[in-house]
Structure 1
Amino acid sequence: MLVLSANNPSGELPLELNGLTNLTELKLSSNNFTGKIPSLGTWIQLRKLSISDLDGNSSQYFPDLSNITGMELLDLSFNNLEGDIPDLKELDLEKMYLTGNSLNGSIPAWINGGDTAQYELIQKLRSCKQLVSLLYPYMEYSSIRINCGGPKVTIGNLTYEADEDSGGAAKFDPTSGFWGTSSTGNALGGNHRLSNYVATNVSALTINDSQLYTTARLSPLSITYYGRCLPNGNFTVTLHFAEIVFRDNMSFQSLGRRSFDVYIQGVCIFKNFDIRKEAGGVDRAVIKEIKNVVVTNTTLEIRFQYAGKGTTAVPSRGSYGPLISAISMVSDISPPISDKSIKTIVIVAVAGIVCLIFIIFGVERLAFYMQERLRWERDLRGFNLQTYQFTYRQIRAATRNFSASNKLGQGGFGAVYRGTLSDGTIIAVKQLSQTSNQGNREFVNEIGLMTGIQHPNIVRLYGCCAESNHLMLVYEYMENNSLAQALYGHGNTGLLLDWPTRQNICVGVARGLAFLHEESILRMVHRDIKAANVLLDRHLTPKIADFGLAKLFSEDRTQARTAPAGTLGYMAPEYAYTGQLTYKVDVFSFGVLAMEIVTGTPNVYPPADDLEYLTIVHRATALQQQDESLIHLVDSRLGLHFDAEEALRMIRIALLCTNNNPNERPLMSEVVDLLQGNINLQDYRVRSPESPETGHGEFSNLVLSPETYHEGHEGFSYKSIVSLLDFEMMMHCAFVI
């Protein structure tokens, strides 16, 4: 056992720690160590590990714990760990603390496996993200006041909002559209009383504004308050403290000591803060005003964290963590014009313009134009609050005035350029064509849906530029361009992807879609999965891009009827014909994409009179029905350098995904398991068919042409495929132009 918590040693963690092979318990929290978490491979007898607040100068990832099967407690909080959480289901963990890190992905399923085990994994909502934008899309708060742990209170003409959630060892409470809290940590010894998270005063208070100090928010480890949807600029933060738990009556209750750190925007403002010492006693108010707090991304974060130097069991277990009575966040900028005044000004201005243009252009055309334009400008104003704002000057400098040598490609949205920011970060800039009305809507949609999404297989949106007519989206740079370029590019622009790389790309895209459909806070259908919208980084890791057509679904609503939109050759037939949109539309598109990855050929062949088949999927379906070998579909450029069994499995999975009956297509999470061999394809049965009321059964009996089969994966003739694709093209053009 080695316990050095709260002793304040400094310097690099010694390498000699790796030699302590018989170590059963290691606690290094609340110190000033630097460096990285040591290699843990030799500590196979370790039962308890606590390394937090490690002051590392570089990013680090979750340590390898696979050999430590008997671990009971794991605390790696506040180490800025990156990457995914590994599968630790073989460990006998009772408690795990991971707050204060930058981990990706969703909460793994194994974390909820034990009835008695308590796990802590908090995904902080640090900005005015999608959920808030959907509820309050065009508003921002210039001030937020909170009565921590207590009811709504009015002091003079100022109102402090209620904060009455009970708290918990791992609790996130969104509370309102514009602020929220998270609390972390268990009381020592497994004490789970309510008093560990909300403190209530035990005596009469004679101080001013005593309503603010009657209750307080409390936690054994940390409390974090998030102010969201705030206007960027300087703020004044006021923190109200009063020690209402410990006493000054010479009893056992007076022996407790409280010490914690206060962070604002990630910067430590107060170290080892002691309320009783600052106030000169208990039940006395301490008010700390912090000016010039800079808000740059519409978010203000205030964290109170146990510093490891207070008492842990006196006067009772769990009373030693940080405590806060009230908080206010007030912008130094005068409040904007009221919503009512803004609406009045907008209505008057628009009415005047409408009257003038009515005379020139006519009533119908004017009404349509103004409606579309106002909706676009309104949406843009709302979403501008939610993502980092680049200036046009920054983008122009980064791309060297949009130099032709930096141009990466051209799409329907506009041109894409490579750029380098002043700090050396390489970016990709997607420039909106000024003549694209469809692009305006997709611009707003992409910002709203992608802000805050972090997944290894989804491209990251850094921010946007919206100055005058200059509308641009800024993404992380993908060194190997798109999957379409890699598969079908000519000369130096194409890549000969080997078989393992193709497998990894296919699994990565499936994981990204499974996240969007089943794991993300906001569930969505992408609607335009294709090779051109899958980007490859320098390691050829696939990342789904271009969310301009994505459609949001709620947890209790998994289908909708919309105008079809997408790309020729990738669109599911039930969507092209009836507009019936479900997650299975993306599954169909993925099946087409998987077939292209295997064959190295675009799904739709160039038009020619002598072609028996119009698409790769059609050809594969025909081969399967004729009992002919599907192995001939594999890209001939691979020669014999591929695993035939794996290739056949991928083709059959692609055919399963492109079944004309959406009820017979798997979920994307099932596709991931099928691709990885976790589910035997021969034994697979669709486990979660869509309910009859979605209308899928109605489409599954639709006769596309006299030549089609009526069961399973229908075989299309050339004529029926042409008919379907003509319809897709017609619908695509109708809703994109």
Structure 2
Amino acid sequence: MAFCPVFCFGKRLDRNQRGKKQPTWRIFSLKELHSATNNFNYDNKLGEGAFGSVYWGQLWDGSQIAVKRLKVWSNKAEMEFGVEVEILARVRHDNLLSLRGYCAEGQERLIVYDYMANLSLLSHLHGQHSSECLLDWNRRMNIAIGSAEGIAYLHHHATPHIIHRDIKASNVLLDSDFKARVADFGFAKFIPDGATHVTTRVKGTLGYLAPEYAMLGKASESCDVYSFGILLLELASGKKPLEKLNATTKRTITDWALPLACERKFSDLADPRINGKYAEEEFKRVVFVALICAQSQPEKRPTMLEVLELLKGEAKDKVAALENHELFNGPKPGEYNDGLSVAEDSPDFISEDKDGNKEVKEEIASENTHRNA
């Protein structure tokens, strides 16, 4: 089956893009990528997921690349491959992972990206780099703002607007300077002008899914905002989105964090690995923003532009109003019951196209195979 060029996936170049110089990417040969990755050698493997594997490679000019290789060809895999290539070819932002090119020969489907020397945020919070304490508060704050910049670009500046649908720690990659790059657009969707949401099959990762999306399949920019709120809490606290309390029960990070935020116990919320070395006002702001993003009612969540403004502390009046938000001044200390946990058969634990129950364990294990090139 011949592969259709990038812009044949049902979209054409926008009128305002015609005549403008497009981002640089190219078509790679399979032979070239075999050579770059030492024939996709196991020692070059950076990670593995439901889609296939990612390999480190080096081109003839010495530049380093990451190559995503689809595991098995299928119509579904072809579609996700096409969506990701098209979106990456259409957009370019400092906080989005850059497309170097792709390869489509026979049934081989490969996407070539810039190599990110510091792997993913997941590896630093829960994986192979978690004990090295490489993320001080300043880096965490820059990662939060950088990720928000990338997502805000997708929601508000890309044409048509794009929802990511899989915002999570493993999809925030870090370059050699720990600059955040949002990655993995295989689940992304274009939002037509004037549409408030699209109804679609649920895809994503347990712990990050907005309730209206998990239960009804309603995907919107607000779903990404919810996922970003979870990511912010994870970044600030070092905790996973879902915490196993016992054999049958897990607790969401919001159920753990909200009572502490209401009681203003921010030192209990902070990741112990930063040893209390954080800017208190910034930390408080990140926690408050995270929790208003992760509200269950989508209409109460801010837009990513508002999130960005709050994180940067640019609108002093809005920042000051955060602490008086109804979310943080409802239940009084001691009024929370012990039932803030959720059972594993609740709607938060639905089955998905990506095996969310195994995902964190598999991604951490796969990243442990990485060779520090």
TM-score by length of 2: 0.82
Letter in 1 for 2:214: A
Which residue among 147, 165, 184 is the counterpart of 1:546? Answer: 184
- State percent identity of aligned pairs: 35
8 Å Cα contact 2:260-2:269 kept in structure 1: no
- Mapped to 2, the partners of 1:684 and 1:649 lie a distance apart of 8
1:666 partnered with 2:302: yes
Contact 1:659 1:665 (8 Å CA) reproduced: yes
Matches of residues 645-656 of structure 1 in structure 2 within 5 Å? 645-656=281-292
Deviations, residues 459-480 of structure 1 (Å, cap 9, x unaligned) = 0011111111221100011011
Matched residue SS, 1:674: helix
Q: Where does residue 10 of structure 2 map in the other structure?
A: 134
Cα distance in 2, alignment partners of residues 722 and 644 from structure 1: 38
The 2-side partners of 1:644 and 1:411 are apart by 37
SS, match of residue 134 in structure 1: coil
Gaps of 5+ in 1: 1-127, 138-171, 183-225, 229-296, 298-385, 686-708
1:55 is aligned to: none
The residue correspondences of 1:345-364 to structure 2 (distance < 5 A) are none
Residue 280 (structure 2) aligns with: 644
SS at match of 1:479: coil
Q: Residue type of the partner of 2:305? A: S
Q: 1-side partners of 2:130 and 2:344: how far apart?
A: 34
SS at match of 1:515: helix
Q: 1:491 to 1:659 in 2, by over 3 A?
A: closer
DSSP 3-state at the match of 1:552? strand
Deviation, 1:437, is 5.5
Change over 3 Å in CA distance of 1:648–1:722 after alignment to 2: farther
Which structure carries more helix by proportion?
A: 2
Question: What is the CA deviation profile of residues 699-737 of structure 1, one whole-angstrom value per residue up to 9, with x for unaligned ones?
Answer: xxxxxxxxxx9xxxx9973246751222x3367669xxx
Greater share of residues in strand: 1
Match of 2:368 in 1: none
Cα gap change, 1:436 to 1:448, in 2 (>3 Å): same
CA-based RMSD? 3.1
In the alignment, what sits opposite 1:480?
A: 118
Q: Is the 8 A contact 2:209 2:348 kept in 1?
A: no
Query: Structure 2 matches for 1:240-639, cutoff 5 A?
Result: 388-434=26-72, 438-490=76-128, 495-606=133-244, 608-609=246-247, 614-625=251-262, 627=263, 629-639=265-275
CA pair 492-181 structure 1, distance change in 2 beyond 3 A: closer
Q: Indicate conservation of the 8 Å contact 1:390/1:465, yes or no.
A: yes
Higher relative contact order (CA 8 A, sep 6+): 2
3-state SS of paired residue (2:90): coil
Q: Matched residues in 2 for 1:650 and 1:136: separation?
A: 39
- Which whole-Å CA distance do the structure 2 matches of 1:499 and 1:492 have between them? 14
Q: 1:648 to 1:391 in 2, by over 3 A?
A: same
The answer to whether the 8 Å contact 1:631/1:648 transfers is: no
Distance 1:181 1:417, change over 3 A: closer
How far residue 642 of structure 1 moved from its aligned partner, in angstroms, is 1.1
CA distance 1:392–1:641, change in 2 (3 Å): same
Q: CA deviation at 1:135?
A: 4.8
1:622-666 deviations in whole A, cap 9, x for unaligned? 3345x3513311000111211122111111110000001111100
Structure 2 residue runs without a partner (length 5+) = 324-330, 357-373
Residue of 346, 351, 355 corresponding to 1:723:
346
Superposition pairs of residues 638-717 of structure 1, within 5 angstroms: 638-679=274-315, 680-683=318-321, 717=340
Q: Residue by residue, what CA displacement relative to the aligned partner does 1:423-453 show, whole Å, maximum 9, x if unpaired?
A: 2221100110026664332111101211132
Out of 597-606 and 650-659, give the one that drifted further. 597-606
- State the distance in 2 between where 1:469 and 1:494 align: 41
* Cα distance in 2 for residues equivalent to 1:530 and 1:492: 16
User: Offset of 1:180 from its aligned partner?
Assistant: 5.0
Q: 1:419 touches 1:428 (CA, 8 Å); kept in 2?
A: yes
The answer (yes or no) to whether the contact 2:123–2:129 under 8 Å persists in 1 is: no
Letter in 1 for 2:280: A
The residue number in structure 2 matching 1:27 is none
Could you list the per-position Cα deviations for residues 175-234 of structure 1 after superposition, in whole angstroms to 9, with x for gaps in the alignment? Answer: xxxx9557xxxxxxxxxxxxxxxxxxxxxxxxxxxxxxxxxxxxxxxxxxx9x9xxxxxx
Matched residue of 1:535: which SS?
A: strand
The aligned length equals 338
Other structure's SS at 1:543 match = strand
Q: Check whether the contact 1:432–1:471 (CA below 8 A) recurs between aligned residues.
A: yes
Contact 1:489 1:495 in 2 (8 A): no
Q: Counterparts in 2 of 1:134-213, with a 5 A limit?
A: 134-135=10-11, 180-181=18-19
In structure 2, C-alpha distance between the alignment counterparts of 1:573 and 1:629, rounded to whole Å: 27
CA–CA distance in structure 2, aligned partners of residues 395 and 494 of structure 1: 32
2 CA distance for matches of 1:537 and 1:563?
32
Residue 10 of structure 2 aligns to a residue in which SS?
helix
Deviations 1:280-321, CA, capped at 9 Å, x for gaps: xxxxxxxxxxxxxxxxx9xxxxxxxxxxxxxxxxxxxxxxxx
Alpha-carbon spacing, 1:499–1:454, altered in 2? closer, same or farther (3 Å):
same
Q: 8 Å contact 1:514–1:669 — kept in the other structure? A: yes
Partner SS state of residue 614, structure 1: strand
CA–CA separation in structure 2 for the residues paired with 1:495 and 1:396: 35
Q: Does structure 1 conserve the Cα–Cα contact (< 8 Å) formed by 2:55 and 2:67? A: yes
Tell which deviates more after alignment, 714-723 or 588-597.
714-723
Is the 1:485–1:493 Cα contact (8 Å) retained in structure 2? no
Shift of 1:668: 0.3
Give the CA deviation at 1:676: 0.7
Secondary structure, in 3 states, of the residue corresponding to 1:605? strand
Structure 1 position 521, deviation (Å): 2.2
Please say which structure displays the higher CA radius of gyration: 1
1:244 matched to which residue of 2? Answer: none
Distance 2:288 2:31 in 1: 51
Q: What is the deviation of 1:550?
A: 0.2
2:34 aligned partner, one-letter code: R
Distance in 2 (CA, whole Å) between partners of 1:631 and 1:721 is: 29
Task: Give, in whole Å, the separation in 2 of the partners of 1:494 and 1:440.
Answer: 38
Q: Distance in 1 between matches of 2:238 and 2:259?
A: 19
Aligned equivalents of 2:294 and 2:147: distance in 1? 16
1:674-693 superposed Cα distances (whole Å, 9 cap, x missing partner): 001112333269xxxxxxxx
Check 1:628–1:729 CA distance in 2 against 1; reply closer, same or farther (3 A cut): farther
* Aligned counterparts of 2:352 and 2:182: Cα–Cα separation in 1: 26
Q: Match of 1:392, as an amino acid? A: L
Q: TM-score, normalised by structure 1?
A: 0.43
Task: State the AA in 2 paired with 1:534.
Answer: V
Alignment check: 8 A CA contact 1:527 1:549 kept: yes
Which residue identity does 1:448 align to in structure 2? E
Q: Secondary structure at the match of 1:451?
A: helix
Q: CA deviation at 1:134?
A: 3.2
Superposition deviation, residue 495 in structure 1: 4.7
Q: Distance in 2 between matches of 1:618 and 1:520?
A: 34
* AA aligned opposite 2:197: Q
